[in-house]
């Protein structure tokens, strides 16, 4: 019997709320700043068929990949899961992102019956490998990137396996932090299990199951209706990654809209590379999901149903669906952003009044590590926002994260108190937003000086050679740059992907890209040009050059 619509609506709200509550439990008890301050984690609930039912809105790049991780990661455990078990994995070829993202999956048992899963994924600050932070800019194969964990039972009948813990502790630089964060991940899943069981207790298993079917069917209907509104046809777009084994790597996608279905075909994309920018399939899928939701109707509840009208073709052995052991550390963070740029470019031909110009298109990953004076290791990882693209009805936003990430910055006062870093600036970069009727957002300058004897620095970034594109006559946003000013005054320009050693007194200057502009800059509202000049976000020269502005 189909439950009434009100019951379905109430159960749906409770499921979303349960996923959110998992996120809160995780964040509050986590150790690493990456989770506690930056919220680099995601939580979700799945049904028995491992279909996504509800997600908490944390990091888009995690979610498409979590569904895949459940399907592939659990296949070895069919029939052998018991109440209290939890499966841990980080193998990107199964769990879909990169090694620092640890996925923890808990089966939910109602009595003795398996009824679904609670799962979460959290970015750990270190999982071993050649560089502190495990996001080296120069790896050539997966094995250099850190400890690879296949799906294993971290918890058996509610008890953490000491041997697996020991194995992890022996392979990472800051084991206490990793163990603390794993405990928080366990707490999150326990919360999810509890809430799901409460729902079943209250409404009965059959009603909950039937409601979940209907929740997914509803999203499917809405997504099909949204797709059906688009003009049928094929739309192709291409964009590039830079500094990949010395050259450019191409991502091409053809989006074909066929009444209420949509096909994404990546034919034409470069083969996989010996550089850490290969995107495991989970990352590629996440980008497709993110794009389709944000260009259609972001109020459609996100679950398995939204994705049923989607057909994917990603040739194996390419940048967007590599074969083991291609390195993948940056696929999740950099290639995933470019993937969305390419997808958005294709959709800009279909939905010109829905799609913004390109945002900064990089997460500007900075990893740093070294040893304290007592020899104990420290690691640090952060990503830095920039300009979002100009939009059909409004300017881009200055200094913000776009698309596949939404992690927070770490407070400077927190970093200076705990790590050997002294900050010199954190500001918006004038004249970096792409000129347009609606200007692109400005990039960020963030710079600091090392106050420890030495440290290993890894940069993994993009858009230092190819600017974020504008749309409909809007101009591209400014490039990013990464510079070290040595203590002795020498200036070294870093490439977008590198691992280097820096010394005390060396200063790193990070300048992130601006977003592309939207529409002809000459049509920009004069008051807005004047406001930007007054606010110092556009120089007078740039206003004259790009906007045809003349001093009154």
Partner 1 sequence: MNLILFEAVLTLPRIAFFRMFRISIDVGGTFTDLVAFEERTGQLINLKIPSVPRNPEKGVTNALTMFLLDHPPNTIKILGHATTIATNALLGQIDLDLPKSAMITTKGFRDVVEIGRQRRAEVYNLFFQRPKQLISRKNRFELDERIEQNGLITKPIEYNELAILLENIKTQGVESLAIAFLNSYANSKHELKVAEEARKIFKYVTASCEITNEYREYERFSTAIVNTVLMPIMSRYINCLISDVKALGVDIPIYIMQSNGGLSTASLISVKPCTVVESGPAAGVIASAWIGKLTGELSVISFDMGGTTAKAGTVRGLIPEVVPEYEVAGQIHMGRILKGSGYPVRFPFIDLAECSSGGGTITWADNDGTLKIGPISAGAFPGPACYGRGGNTPTITDANLLLGRLNPKSLLNGEMIIYPEKAKTALETLSRKVSMDLEETAVSILLIANSMMGKILRIVSVERGYDPRDFSIVAFGGAGPMHVCALADELNVKRLIIPPNPGMFSALGLLTTDLFHDYTYPVIRKFSDVMPEDYEKAYLEMKKEAVTTLTNENVTEKKMKFYRQADIRYLGQGYELPISIPSKVTMETVKEISSSFHAKHLEAYGYSSPKEQLEVINLRLRAIGVIPKPKIRTRNRITKTEPREKRPVFFESLGWVDTPIYERTTGIWKNTILGPAIVEQYDATTVIYPDWVAKMDQYGNLILRRDIK
What is the DSSP track for 388-434?
A: PPP-SSSPPPSSB--TT--PPPPPHHHHHHHSSEEEEEEEE-TT-SP
CB of 115 or CB of 182, closer to partner 1 = 182
Residues 291-310, one symbol each (x = binds partner 1 by CB under 8 A, - = not), give --xxx--xx--x--------
CB of 16 or CB of 136, closer to partner 1 = 16
- When binding is defined by CB under 8 A, the residue of 233, 352, 453, 536 that contacts partner 1 is 536
Which of these segments, 13-21, 76-84, 267-275, 365-373, binds partner 1 (CB under 8 A)? 13-21
Which of these segments, 113-121, 455-463, 472-480, 532-540, binds partner 1 (CB under 8 A)? 532-540
- Within 29-58, the residues that bind partner 1 by CB under 8 A are 29-33, 35-37, 39, 57-58
Task: Write the secondary structure of 32-69 as one string of H (helix), E (strand) and C (coil).
Answer: CHHHHCCCCEEEEEEECCCCEEEECCCCHHHHHHHHHH
Separation between Cα atoms, residue 519 and residue 527, nearest integer Å: 17
The residue assigned the tokens 């050679």 is 465
Q: Are 388 and 432 in contact (CB under 8 A)?
A: no
Residues 235-274, one symbol each (x = binds partner 1 by CB under 8 A, - = not), give ----------------------------------------
Computed from CA positions of residues 294, 297, 299, 303, in that sequence, does the dihedral angle turn out positive or negative?
negative
Site membership for partner 1, residue 321 (CB under 8 A)? no
Separation between Cα atoms, residue 216 and residue 88, nearest integer Å: 27
Site membership for partner 1, residue 417 (CB under 8 A)? yes
Please give the backbone phi and psi of residue 544, each rounded to the nearest 5 degrees, phi first. Answer: -70, -45
| Three-class DSSP category at 223 | helix
CB of 17 or CB of 247, closer to partner 1 = 17
The residue assigned the tokens 């590039």 is 240
Size of the site for partner 1 (CB under 8 A): 79
Q: Find residue 55's DSSP bridge partners.
A: 44
- When binding is defined by CB under 8 A, the residue of 75, 170, 423, 525 that contacts partner 1 is 423
Which among 49, 45, 112, 46 has a CA at the least distance from the CA of 82?
A: 112
- Within 157-196, the residues that bind partner 1 by CB under 8 A are 176-177, 180, 183-184, 187, 190
- When binding is defined by CB under 8 A, the residue of 41, 45, 60, 115 that contacts partner 1 is 60
Other residues' Cβ atoms within 10 Å of the Cβ of residue 20: 18
Separation between Cα atoms, residue 383 and residue 408, nearest integer Å: 8
Give whole-number Cα distances, 497 to 136, 288, 322, 337, in Å.
Answer: 8, 25, 19, 15
CB of 91 or CB of 214, closer to partner 1 = 214
Site membership for partner 1, residue 397 (CB under 8 A)? yes
Separation between Cα atoms, residue 86 and residue 73, nearest integer Å: 12
Site membership for partner 1, residue 399 (CB under 8 A)? yes
CB of 27 or CB of 121, closer to partner 1 = 27
Angle between helices 5-29 and 205-228 (to 10 degrees): 90
Q: Are 82 and 157 in contact (CB under 8 A)?
A: yes
Separation between Cα atoms, residue 52 and residue 134, nearest integer Å: 29
- Within 189-228, the residues that bind partner 1 by CB under 8 A are 190, 218, 221-222
Site membership for partner 1, residue 5 (CB under 8 A)? yes
Q: Find residue 45's DSSP bridge partners.
A: 54, 118
CB of 218 to partner 1, least distance (A): 7
CB of 45 or CB of 244, closer to partner 1 = 45
- C-alpha dihedral (320, 323, 324, 330), degrees to nearest 10: -10
Site membership for partner 1, residue 526 (CB under 8 A)? no
CB of 356 to partner 1, least distance (A): 6
- When binding is defined by CB under 8 A, the residue of 127, 384, 478, 484 that contacts partner 1 is 384
- Within 95-154, the residues that bind partner 1 by CB under 8 A are none
- When binding is defined by CB under 8 A, the residue of 77, 109, 110, 426 that contacts partner 1 is 426
- Within 470-499, the residues that bind partner 1 by CB under 8 A are none
- When binding is defined by CB under 8 A, the residue of 350, 424, 528, 539 that contacts partner 1 is 424
Site membership for partner 1, residue 508 (CB under 8 A)? no
- Within 346-365, the residues that bind partner 1 by CB under 8 A are 354-356
Which among 279, 383, 388 has a CA at the least distance from the CA of 344?
A: 388
CB of 75 or CB of 451, closer to partner 1 = 451
């Amino acid at each position: 019997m189909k439950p009434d619509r009100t019951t379905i609506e109430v159960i749906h709200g409770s499921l979303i709320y349960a996923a959110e509550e998992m996120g809160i439990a995780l964040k509050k008890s986590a150790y690493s700043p990456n989770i506690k301050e930056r919220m680099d984690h995601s939580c979700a609930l799945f049904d028995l068929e491992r279909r996504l039912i509800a997600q908490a809105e944390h990091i888009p790049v995690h979610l498409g990949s979590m569904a895949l991780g459940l399907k592939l990661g659990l296949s070895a455990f069919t029939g052998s899961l018991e109440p209290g078990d939890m499966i841990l994995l980080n193998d990107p070829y199964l769990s879909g992102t990169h090694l620092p993202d640890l996925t923890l999956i808990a089966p939910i048992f109602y009595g003795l019956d398996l009824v679904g899963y609670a799962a979460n994924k959290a970015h750990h600050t270190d999982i071993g490998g050649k560089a502190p932070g495990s996001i080296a800019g120069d790896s050539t194969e997966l094995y250099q990137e850190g400890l690879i964990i296949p799906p294993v039972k971290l918890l058996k009948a509610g008890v953490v396996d000491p041997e697996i813990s020991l194995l992890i502790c022996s392979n990472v630089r800051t084991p206490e932090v990793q163990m603390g964060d794993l405990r928080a991940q366990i707490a999150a899943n326990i919360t999810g299990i509890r809430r799901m069981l409460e729902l079943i207790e209250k409404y009965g298993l059959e009603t909950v199951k039937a409601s979940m079917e209907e929740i997914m069917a509803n999203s499917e209907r809405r997504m099909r209706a949204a797709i059906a509104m688009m003009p049928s046809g094929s739309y192709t777009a291409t964009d590039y990654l830079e500094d990949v084994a010395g050259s450019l790597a191409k991502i091409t996608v053809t989006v074909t809209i066929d009444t209420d279905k949509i096909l994404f075909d990546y034919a034409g994309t470069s083969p996989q590379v010996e550089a850490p920018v290969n995107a495991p399939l989970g990352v590629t899928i996440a980008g497709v999901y993110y794009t389709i939701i944000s260009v259609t109707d972001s109020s459609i509840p996100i679950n398995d149903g939204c994705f049923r009208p989607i057909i994917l073709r990603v040739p194996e052995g390419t940048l967007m669906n590599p074969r083991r052991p291609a390195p993948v550390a940056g696929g999740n963070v950099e290639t995933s952003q470019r993937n969305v740029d390419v997808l958005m470019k294709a959709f800009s031909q279909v939905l010109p009044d829905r799609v913004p110009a390109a945002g900064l298109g990089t997460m500007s990953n900075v990893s740093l590590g070294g040893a304290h004076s007592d020899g104990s290791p420290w690691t640090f990882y952060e990503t830095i926002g920039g300009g979002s693209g100009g939009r059909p009805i409004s300017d881009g936003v200055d200094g913000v994260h776009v698309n596949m990430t939404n992690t927070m910055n770490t407070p400077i006062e927190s970093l200076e108190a705990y790590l050997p870093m002294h900050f010199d600036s954190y500001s918006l970069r004038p004249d970096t937003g792409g000129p347009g009727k609606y200007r692109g957002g400005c990039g960020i300058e963030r710079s600091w000086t090392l106050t420890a004897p030495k440290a290993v620095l890894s940069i993994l970034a993009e858009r230092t050679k190819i600017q974020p594109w504008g749309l409909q006559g809007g101009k591209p946003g400014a490039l990013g740059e990464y510079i070290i000013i040595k203590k002795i005054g020498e200036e070294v320009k870093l490439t977008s992907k590198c691992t280097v050693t820096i010394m005390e007194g060396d200063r790193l200057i990070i300048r992130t890209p601006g977003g592309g502009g939207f529409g002809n800059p000459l049509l920009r509202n004069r008051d807005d040009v004047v406001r930007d000049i007054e606010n110092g976000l556009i120089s007078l020269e740039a206003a004259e050059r790009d906007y045809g502005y003349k001093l009154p």
